[in-house]
Protein backbone atom coordinates (compact mmCIF):
# COMPACT_ATOMS: atom_id res chain seq x y z
CA UNK A 1 0.00 0.00 0.00
CA UNK A 2 1.09 3.57 -0.57
CA UNK A 3 2.66 5.34 2.37
CA UNK A 4 0.48 8.45 2.30
CA UNK A 5 -1.35 10.21 5.11
CA UNK A 6 -4.69 9.13 3.71
CA UNK A 7 -3.99 5.41 3.64
CA UNK A 8 -4.84 3.37 6.71
CA UNK A 9 -2.19 0.67 6.73
CA UNK A 10 -4.31 -1.62 8.87
CA UNK A 11 -7.68 -1.67 7.10
CA UNK A 12 -7.04 -0.38 3.60
CA UNK A 13 -9.55 2.45 3.99
CA UNK A 14 -8.98 6.17 3.67
CA UNK A 15 -8.31 7.94 6.96
CA UNK A 16 -10.91 10.43 8.14
CA UNK A 17 -9.89 14.08 8.43
CA UNK A 18 -9.93 13.67 12.22
CA UNK A 19 -7.49 10.77 11.97
CA UNK A 20 -5.24 12.72 9.60
CA UNK A 21 -5.26 15.79 11.86
CA UNK A 22 -4.69 13.90 15.12
CA UNK A 23 -2.29 11.33 13.66
CA UNK A 24 -4.19 8.62 15.54
CA UNK A 25 -6.91 6.17 14.48
CA UNK A 26 -10.49 7.17 15.30
CA UNK A 27 -10.67 4.35 17.85
CA UNK A 28 -7.88 5.99 19.89
CA UNK A 29 -10.34 8.76 20.80
CA UNK A 30 -12.01 6.25 23.12
CA UNK A 31 -8.99 4.45 24.56
CA UNK A 32 -7.72 6.96 27.13
CA UNK A 33 -11.09 7.69 28.71
CA UNK A 34 -14.22 9.10 27.16
CA UNK A 35 -13.99 10.78 23.78
CA UNK A 36 -14.54 14.55 23.88
CA UNK A 37 -18.04 14.22 22.40
CA UNK A 38 -19.06 11.36 24.73
CA UNK A 39 -20.81 13.32 27.46
CA UNK A 40 -22.31 10.27 29.17
CA UNK A 41 -25.82 11.03 27.95
CA UNK A 42 -27.55 11.71 24.63
CA UNK A 43 -26.65 14.92 22.88
CA UNK A 44 -29.27 17.54 23.88
CA UNK A 45 -30.14 18.17 20.21
CA UNK A 46 -31.06 14.49 19.78
CA UNK A 47 -32.95 14.33 23.11
CA UNK A 48 -34.93 17.41 22.05
CA UNK A 49 -35.62 15.92 18.63
CA UNK A 50 -36.81 12.65 20.19
CA UNK A 51 -39.20 14.56 22.46
CA UNK A 52 -40.58 16.72 19.64
CA UNK A 53 -40.84 14.33 16.67
CA UNK A 54 -42.65 11.00 16.53
CA UNK A 55 -39.87 8.67 15.44
CA UNK A 56 -41.17 5.41 14.01
CA UNK A 57 -39.69 2.37 12.35
CA UNK A 58 -36.17 1.06 12.67
CA UNK A 59 -33.38 3.54 13.42
CA UNK A 60 -29.86 3.52 11.97
CA UNK A 61 -27.46 5.60 14.09
CA UNK A 62 -24.50 6.05 11.74
CA UNK A 63 -21.45 7.16 13.70
CA UNK A 64 -23.05 6.15 17.01
CA UNK A 65 -19.87 6.38 19.07
CA UNK A 66 -20.42 5.05 22.60
CA UNK A 67 -24.14 4.73 21.89
CA UNK A 68 -25.90 7.31 24.05
CA UNK A 69 -28.20 8.54 21.25
CA UNK A 70 -28.90 4.94 20.17
CA UNK A 71 -29.74 3.93 23.73
CA UNK A 72 -32.13 6.85 24.18
CA UNK A 73 -34.04 5.83 21.05
CA UNK A 74 -33.98 2.13 21.96
CA UNK A 75 -35.34 2.99 25.43
CA UNK A 76 -38.34 4.49 23.62
CA UNK A 77 -39.10 1.06 22.15
CA UNK A 78 -37.51 1.63 18.75
CA UNK A 79 -35.43 -0.97 16.96
CA UNK A 80 -31.95 0.58 16.75
CA UNK A 81 -28.75 -0.36 14.95
CA UNK A 82 -25.77 1.80 15.86
CA UNK A 83 -22.72 1.62 13.61
CA UNK A 84 -19.30 3.13 14.09
CA UNK A 85 -15.75 2.65 12.91
CA UNK A 86 -14.35 2.66 16.47
CA UNK A 87 -14.41 -0.81 18.08
CA UNK A 88 -13.69 0.62 21.54
CA UNK A 89 -16.71 2.91 21.25
CA UNK A 90 -18.90 -0.01 20.22
CA UNK A 91 -17.71 -2.07 23.19
CA UNK A 92 -18.70 0.84 25.46
CA UNK A 93 -22.09 1.07 23.76
CA UNK A 94 -22.74 -2.64 24.18
CA UNK A 95 -21.74 -2.49 27.85
CA UNK A 96 -23.98 0.52 28.47
CA UNK A 97 -26.88 -1.31 26.82
CA UNK A 98 -26.30 -4.36 29.06
CA UNK A 99 -25.92 -2.22 32.19
CA UNK A 100 -29.20 -0.42 31.47
CA UNK A 101 -31.13 -3.45 30.24
CA UNK A 102 -31.77 -1.80 26.87
CA UNK A 103 -31.82 -3.80 23.64
CA UNK A 104 -29.93 -2.15 20.80
CA UNK A 105 -27.60 -3.62 18.21
CA UNK A 106 -24.14 -2.25 17.50
CA UNK A 107 -21.90 -3.13 14.55
CA UNK A 108 -18.63 -2.03 13.03
CA UNK A 109 -19.00 -0.14 9.77
CA UNK A 110 -17.22 2.64 7.93
CA UNK A 111 -20.31 4.47 6.73
CA UNK A 112 -18.42 7.32 5.09
CA UNK A 113 -17.33 5.55 1.90
CA UNK A 114 -20.71 5.55 0.20
CA UNK A 115 -22.72 7.25 2.91
CA UNK A 116 -25.64 8.57 0.88
CA UNK A 117 -26.00 5.46 -1.29
CA UNK A 118 -25.81 3.12 1.68
CA UNK A 119 -28.32 5.17 3.65
CA UNK A 120 -30.68 5.09 0.68
CA UNK A 121 -30.37 1.31 0.52
CA UNK A 122 -31.58 0.90 4.11
CA UNK A 123 -34.10 3.76 4.28
CA UNK A 124 -37.65 3.28 3.01
CA UNK A 125 -39.12 5.90 0.70
CA UNK A 126 -40.68 8.58 2.86
CA UNK A 127 -38.25 7.80 5.68
CA UNK A 128 -36.53 10.64 7.50
CA UNK A 129 -32.82 11.00 8.10
CA UNK A 130 -31.56 13.28 10.87
CA UNK A 131 -27.90 14.26 10.78
CA UNK A 132 -26.19 16.02 13.69
CA UNK A 133 -22.70 17.02 12.60
CA UNK A 134 -19.99 19.37 13.84
CA UNK A 135 -20.14 22.66 11.92
CA UNK A 136 -17.13 24.41 10.47
CA UNK A 137 -18.63 27.76 11.49
CA UNK A 138 -18.15 29.34 14.87
CA UNK A 139 -15.34 30.38 17.18
CA UNK A 140 -14.72 26.88 18.55
CA UNK A 141 -15.32 23.85 16.35
CA UNK A 142 -15.29 20.15 17.10
CA UNK A 143 -13.41 17.33 15.36
CA UNK A 144 -14.23 16.64 11.72
CA UNK A 145 -16.29 19.79 11.14
CA UNK A 146 -18.17 20.10 7.85
CA UNK A 147 -19.48 23.04 5.89
CA UNK A 148 -23.13 23.61 5.10
CA UNK A 149 -22.36 22.91 1.43
CA UNK A 150 -20.59 19.64 2.31
CA UNK A 151 -23.70 18.54 4.19
CA UNK A 152 -26.15 19.60 1.47
CA UNK A 153 -24.31 18.46 -1.67
CA UNK A 154 -24.56 14.67 -1.27
CA UNK A 155 -28.32 14.97 -0.79
CA UNK A 156 -28.90 17.21 -3.83
CA UNK A 157 -31.50 16.71 -6.54
CA UNK A 158 -31.26 13.32 -8.17
CA UNK A 159 -29.74 11.62 -5.11
CA UNK A 160 -33.06 10.18 -3.94
CA UNK A 161 -33.15 12.60 -1.01
CA UNK A 162 -34.72 15.97 -0.28
CA UNK A 163 -33.15 18.30 2.27
CA UNK A 164 -36.08 19.59 4.31
CA UNK A 165 -34.10 21.78 6.68
CA UNK A 166 -30.64 22.34 8.07
CA UNK A 167 -30.65 24.24 11.32
CA UNK A 168 -27.85 25.56 13.47
CA UNK A 169 -27.53 23.59 16.68
CA UNK A 170 -24.86 22.52 19.14
CA UNK A 171 -22.93 19.47 20.26
CA UNK A 172 -21.77 19.24 23.85
CA UNK A 173 -18.28 17.93 24.51
CA UNK A 174 -16.15 17.19 27.55
CA UNK A 175 -13.37 19.54 26.45
CA UNK A 176 -15.25 22.73 25.56
CA UNK A 177 -16.77 25.02 28.17
CA UNK A 178 -19.62 25.92 25.85
CA UNK A 179 -21.33 23.64 23.31
CA UNK A 180 -19.71 23.78 19.87
CA UNK A 181 -21.46 24.68 16.64
CA UNK A 182 -23.30 21.93 14.78
CA UNK A 183 -25.76 21.37 11.98
CA UNK A 184 -28.98 19.43 12.54
CA UNK A 185 -30.29 18.34 9.16
CA UNK A 186 -33.70 16.88 8.39
CA UNK A 187 -33.58 14.95 5.12
CA UNK A 188 -36.39 12.91 3.51
CA UNK A 189 -35.99 9.83 1.33
CA UNK A 190 -38.01 10.37 -1.88
Query: Per-residue pLDDT tens for 27-59?
Result: 888 888 888 899 999 999 999 999 999 998 899
pTM: 0.80
Per-residue pLDDT, averaged over 84-96, amounts to 95
Q: What percent of the chain has pLDDT over 90?
A: 55
Mean pLDDT over all residues of the chain?
86
What was the pLDDT predicted at 159?
Answer: 85
Contact in structure between 186 and 128 (CB atoms under 8 Å): yes
**67 by DSSP, 3-state: which?**
coil
**With contact defined as beta carbons under 8 Å apart, do 55 and 73 qualify?**
yes
Three-state DSSP at 144 gives coil
Mind listing the pLDDT tens digit for each residue in 94-141? 999 999 999 999 998 867 546 777 888 888 899 999 999 999 998 778
Nearest-angstrom CA–CA distance, 168 and 21: 25
Query: Which residues contact residue 98 at a Cβ distance below 8 angstroms, ignoring those fewer than 6 apart?
Result: none
Backbone angles phi and psi of 86, in degrees to 5: -95, 110
Write phi, then psi, for 12 (nearest 5 degrees).
80, 5
| 4-13, 22-31, 55-64, 69-78: range with highest mean pLDDT | 69-78
> Does 17 have pLDDT greater than 90?
no
Map out the domains of the chain with their CATH numbers. Answer: 17-189 (3.40.50.150)
DSSP readout, 144-162?
S-B-HHHHHGGGSTTTTEE
3-class secondary-structure state, position 15: coil
Amino acid sequence: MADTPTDDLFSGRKLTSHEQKSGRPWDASYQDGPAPWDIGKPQPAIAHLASEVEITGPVLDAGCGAGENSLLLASMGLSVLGVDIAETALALARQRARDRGIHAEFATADERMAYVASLASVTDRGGTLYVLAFSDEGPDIGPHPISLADLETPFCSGSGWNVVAIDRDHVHTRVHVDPVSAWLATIKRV
